[in-house]
Structure 1
Amino acid sequence: MQVPPMFVLLSSVRINTNNDNNNNNFSGSTLRLLENGNLLLLTQNGTVLWQSFDYPTDTWLPGMNLTRSRSLISWRTKTDPSPGFYSLRLRPPDYGEFELVFNNTESFWSTGNWTGQSFLNVPEMTIPYIYRFDFEDPFSPSASFGFSERALENGLEPPTLFRVEPFGQVRQYTWSKQSRSWNMFWSKPEKIGQVRGLCGRFGVCSSDESDIAISVSSFCDCVKGYEPVDVEGWRNGEYYGGCKREDGEICNVSDGFDDLGFVVEFDMFNASSLRTKTRKVCERECLNSCNCVGLSYNEKSGICRNFYGSLFDFQNSSSSSDGVLYVRVPKEKEGSLMKNRFNGKVLVAIVIGSAFALGVLVVSLLVLIKMRLKKKGNEEDVSVPILNLQVFSYKELQLATRGFSDKVGHGGFGTVFLGELSDSSLVAVKRLERPGGGEKEFRAEVSTIGNIQHVNLVTLRGFCSENSHRLLVYEYMQNGALSAYLRKEGPSLNWDVRFRVAIGTAKGIAYLHEECRCCIIHCDIKPENILLDNDFTAKVSDFGLAKLIGRDFSRVLATMRGTWGYVAPEWISGVAITTKADVYSYGMTLLELISGRRNVLAPPSAGGGENNGCETEDKWFFPPWAAQQIIEGSVAAVLDKRLGNVYNIEEARRVALVAVWCIQDDETVRPTMSMVVKMLEGLVEVNVPPPPKLLQALVTGESFCGVKADDSETGVSTGGSLSVTNLEVSIADSESYIGDILDVNVNVR
């Protein structure tokens, strides 16, 4: 558009075309907004006078380069665009990695150094579905890093951006045409509680730390006995001012301590340590000093640490080795009204009479409260049935797990500990990290999980919902997770077990998709969530903790809990998520199961000369190479070498082909999980699938190390168009499964 005479641009170049002596120099200038979001001020001959990409704010768009002098700075709040407290910048003095910085001084997360293809701490970059990264002159003051969108063969180029949020995370968003909104796909740090300075003095990160789509209005709480310094700012999501004591921070030896549970200490100033036999000794030491604001105590070691000044940046921990944090808080007012100066017989009479009256009142109140609680409990039991689930107290589970000392696993939803109940049965106790929702919502979710019973799903035995504690008690799987058998130095599974695991896992997922009252999309199928009992029967875990949706698959899920390396392409493209996303993840897991290795390993160039388990450089990202070998008929090349020649050739071929069908680009071409079960059991004949074009496209980019394109007659090609290929599968009862690869229509009849 033509710049009007009154146009004024105030910046470091300070251009003013109105009443300016140099007005003629800008006569006829134009202001142009490019497709990539760059705003240009151009002269008549096209010279760029100014462009917005040179002055980044909080948003990073494709085509924009960040340099030593160009960094992203967050907004102050969601509604206040003034500069905030968080920035993403190239870390000085080497400029070979990015870091997130609080208040321009304190770094709390970094990408790790550039390896030539990715950053060490961002393994997601090894699977660049839609990005091409370009790092010019890394490890020098002239370093410049940018990214562009990768053109895929299916033509999908969803608008995308990165943004440093007011609450300290850097997030990637993609645009969804269906919902007409930006969907958050990726964030670092993954947990809100890991952000530096978010909640200020005596503020506690109270969010569900595994929920990457959390509302900005619910990040922080003040500890008990404290209140926000800036109440209005707190309401607007500006927590940095922190909290203050409600009683004006009066030093009082009768103060108490609030148990915040196991915490990671980020920044606790002026700490003193001592070894004591009991926490009471530690508390007395703290109460004797007006500057002592809290303490941590580890029952195992007996180590007590007293903290002085202020407490910043503490978050929930999953490890008992961190110790329990006790914050000094005002003791509840009790007995203060009984203080008086009366004495003698008058005082005795008053005390006795008051005690009697108070006793009658207390008994009456207890009876009334008990009746109301019973009524409320009956109403809640009717609305939220718990079936045969056992309700545990927090103390019971503390004893069963020996103080949560034996950690056996950790995931996005929480930490798992081994426990032994009073009946001597072993259980796995999952302690949820800062779960969202209230008591009623939690019991409703537990009720849903408790209703789900299948031989290939982990059974929920009970739960605990006491104060802020949320724990789930599962049956214990003696042989652990499938992931433990995917390391060369670890134990191995024979072929019969692997085949049973493949079928059992498929049956468990199929039950979630098609046989439950509410269709459940797991969203996180991976070896860590496939557990093996004493007979090596596969059982899918964590299914009830994913989002529950109805059978209307047009709804777009707002969050994604999947793991890179297993997520389907539609997560990134912004289209609706269906059960076929689980099918894709299952296919990736099948490749790992039959090969006895992980799909993504550190490339040789990033491992200091070691190949980290990769025989050749082109196999460090396994799926494209494996898919090519399977399609060409070289299934044996993909199988785990530890199997030797002891495996069923037909079963191995069937599993391998099913895996490639499951990881097809277009979800409509992938089979359903019930169809997968039939394929694996030999009820249908499985033909050779087409190559997953997206995987092939990934490995042809300049910034990606992987399998090279093959122009042979096998059809494994990354360029041009594929010929029309039909898959026809016949079943004994004449059922057919027909998929047209170009028209992407699947019919089951």
Structure 2
Amino acid sequence: MDSGNFIMLGHGHNNSAIAWESFAHPTDTWLPGMKMWKGMKLTSSKSSLDPAIGIFSIGMYMSPGKSQLVMVYNKTVPYFSSGEWTGYYFAKIPESEGQKTIEMSCVRVSPASIYYNLSISPLDQTLYILGRLLFSENGELQLYYWMDNNRWSMRWSTYRSQCSDYEICGPYGLCNTNDLCTCVQGFTPKNKSQGWWSSGCVRRRPLQCSATEGTTDGFQEAKNQYLSVKKAVVYNNEQTQQGCRTACLNNCSCTAFAFAISDPPVCRLWFGDLFGMRVSSEGQSIFVRLAASEFPHVTSEHSNKAHALPILLSSAASFFVASAFLSAAFILWKRQRMRKKTVEEEVPMSLKKFTYKELRIATENFKHNLGSGAFGSVFKGTLADSTPVAVKRLEGSTQGGKQFRA
């Protein structure tokens, strides 16, 4: 059909009845005229190059007298909702109201049966604009419309940080300020070949959970971290950080603790695998439990005395050792200085970073398209100080990201 709906008609006496239609079985795209009923959902692609089913989905959620669109990660973890339908737009997606050419509507067939519809309006009596909603491989809802230069252009997006709400980095994965996954210190990726490291990280060395001197597990401090307090157990009877540490250490299932100096002090313990850690300016110090072997240079006073070996050096031998040490230190210093000088000559060190929000404002929400390349589109923009800029937005290719940074 001209609407984009792929229809299969019946046969025999009922050859005009619809036997199957693509609008009832959407993938990642929502076209005008397609009704989004409860139970239906859009599912992201695995990547821009792989149309297989991805890990994000969005569908209608209904409660008595209320309805909203809910985005879900990995089939079970809600990470964003559109907010309730106000009668004109979704509370958390104000862009869905009055887009002049493209807007959303809610049709209530009965109190328990409603659907959302994407509609378009003509700019004038002769011009009709095509529009579509895309649920991207990154779990964003994006509105596109057809441009005069015969290409799709994004009008708005429900962009949110990949680290915001869902556990995309897996167990013991840490989401940093660049929306990239790394592992907590003492851990290594379980499967480096998987995108976003969704399988998480594993310990480099197993925990000992032993009270034997020198083999007791330790804790590595991770500063400025956010970790869901909903999954923590609060121990209000612990009034000091040392007491909180001991409470965690004495329980083999405790994997991390945090202590807040407040009134009263709050001791939080986490049990089992850690999920959803991310770097945050509003975070706190999280102490992650590691095996004693992860701290090779930390030993007790008793252990130092037990393992200390008397070493006797003659004055000649002492002089030789000192001379060798100074020579090695000088050579190392000279090499580092030459390497640093080479790097400074080859790499500019004053590159400014911009947030996604700053670039979106500078380009008026990526309004003026200047053209496109192999891995994305270029948009005209103006910074706050009136400096004209060209902003390239990458579109899904990992190789493109590497070339762009190069």
Please indicate, yes or no, whether the TM-score normalized by the shorter chain is above 0.5. yes
Query: 1:208 and 1:57, CA in 2 relative to 1: closer, same or farther beyond 3 A?
Result: same
Aligned to 2:260: 298
Aligned to 1:65: 35
The offset of 1:362, in angstroms, is: 5.6
The one-letter amino acid paired with 1:324 is S
Contact 2:46–2:53 at 8 Å: present in 1 too?
yes
The offset of 1:143, in angstroms, is: 0.9
The offset of 1:147, in angstroms, is: 0.6
Contact 1:174–1:573 at 8 Å: present in 2 too?
no
Query: 1:307 and 1:563, CA in 2 relative to 1: closer, same or farther beyond 3 A?
Result: same
Matches within 5 A, 1:45-444: 45-75=15-45, 83-94=53-64, 96-137=67-108, 140-153=111-124, 155=127, 157=129, 159-165=131-137, 167-173=138-144, 186-188=156-158, 190-206=160-176, 208-209=178-179, 219-229=180-190, 231=191, 234-237=192-195, 239-251=197-209, 253-265=216-228, 268-273=231-236, 276-277=239-240, 279-298=241-260, 303-319=266-282, 322-330=283-291, 332=294, 334=296, 347-349=309-311, 363-383=326-346, 443-444=349-350
Contact 2:169–2:198 at 8 Å: present in 1 too?
yes
TM-score (norm 1): 0.41
SS of the aligned residue for 1:310 comes to coil
Answer yes or no: is 1:40 the counterpart of 2:11: no
Q: Provide structure 2 residue ranges, at least 5 long, that are not aligned to the other structure.
A: 210-214, 299-304, 389-406
Q: How many residues align?
A: 363
Distance 2:57 2:360 in 1: 27
The offset of 1:84, in angstroms, is: 4.5
Distance 1:130 1:226 in 2: 51
When you count helix as a share of all residues, which structure comes out higher? 1
The offset of 1:107, in angstroms, is: 2.5
Aligned to 1:577: 379
Distance 2:249 2:186 in 1: 16
Q: Find 1:545's aligned residue among 336, 349, 354.
A: 354
SS of the aligned residue for 2:351 comes to helix
Matches within 5 A, 1:513-592: 545=354, 561-563=359-361, 567=365, 569-570=367-368, 577-579=379-381
Contact 2:9–2:17 at 8 Å: present in 1 too?
yes
Query: 1:573 and 1:383, CA in 2 relative to 1: closer, same or farther beyond 3 A?
Result: closer
The one-letter amino acid paired with 2:6 is L
Aligned to 1:591: none
Query: 1:241 and 1:46, CA in 2 relative to 1: closer, same or farther beyond 3 A?
Result: same
Distance 2:81 2:110 in 1: 15
Distance 2:321 2:21 in 1: 76
Distance 2:72 2:234 in 1: 25
Contact 1:226–1:329 at 8 Å: present in 2 too?
no
Query: 1:287 and 1:86, CA in 2 relative to 1: closer, same or farther beyond 3 A?
Result: same
Aligned to 1:432: none
Identity %: 23
The offset of 1:99, in angstroms, is: 1.0
Kindly report the root-mean-square deviation, in angstroms, between the aligned alpha carbons of the 2 structures: 4.4
The offset of 1:375, in angstroms, is: 2.4
SS of the aligned residue for 1:56 comes to coil
The offset of 1:380, in angstroms, is: 3.7
Distance 2:171 2:322 in 1: 42
The one-letter amino acid paired with 1:236 is Q
Distance 1:294 1:264 in 2: 10
Contact 2:97–2:103 at 8 Å: present in 1 too?
no
Distance 1:351 1:246 in 2: 38
Write the deviation string for residues 117-160 of structure 1: whole angstroms up to 9, x where unpaired: 11111122235154121210189431100212333359583653
When you count strand as a share of all residues, which structure comes out higher? 2
The offset of 1:67, in angstroms, is: 0.7
Contact 2:363–2:379 at 8 Å: present in 1 too?
no
Aligned to 1:394: none
Contact 1:268–1:311 at 8 Å: present in 2 too?
no
Contact 2:260–2:266 at 8 Å: present in 1 too?
yes
Contact 1:265–1:315 at 8 Å: present in 2 too?
no
The offset of 1:264, in angstroms, is: 4.9
The offset of 1:72, in angstroms, is: 1.7
Aligned to 1:740: none
Aligned to 1:445: 351
Query: 1:56 and 1:295, CA in 2 relative to 1: closer, same or farther beyond 3 A?
Result: same
Write the deviation string for residues 63-108 of structure 1: whole angstroms up to 9, x where unpaired: 2221112112334566665554432111133451111123444322
Write the deviation string for residues 390-411 of structure 1: whole angstroms up to 9, x where unpaired: xxxxxxxxxxxxxxxxxxxxxx
More relative contact order in 1 or in 2 (CA 8 Å, sep 6+)?
2
Query: 1:236 and 1:307, CA in 2 relative to 1: closer, same or farther beyond 3 A?
Result: closer
Write the deviation string for residues 410-457 of structure 1: whole angstroms up to 9, x where unpaired: xxxxxxxxxxxxxxxxxxxxxxxxxxxxxxxxx3314xxxxxxxxxxx
Query: 1:68 and 1:199, CA in 2 relative to 1: closer, same or farther beyond 3 A?
Result: same
The one-letter amino acid paired with 1:71 is K
Query: 1:565 and 1:117, CA in 2 relative to 1: closer, same or farther beyond 3 A?
Result: farther
Distance 2:51 2:85 in 1: 31
SS of the aligned residue for 2:39 comes to coil
Query: 1:576 and 1:329, CA in 2 relative to 1: closer, same or farther beyond 3 A?
Result: same
Write the deviation string for residues 349-387 of structure 1: whole angstroms up to 9, x where unpaired: 48999x9698766655543333233223333444457xx
TM-score (norm 2): 0.71
SS of the aligned residue for 1:368 comes to helix
The offset of 1:250, in angstroms, is: 4.2
Contact 2:259–2:266 at 8 Å: present in 1 too?
yes
Distance 2:216 2:144 in 1: 51
Distance 1:67 1:383 in 2: 57
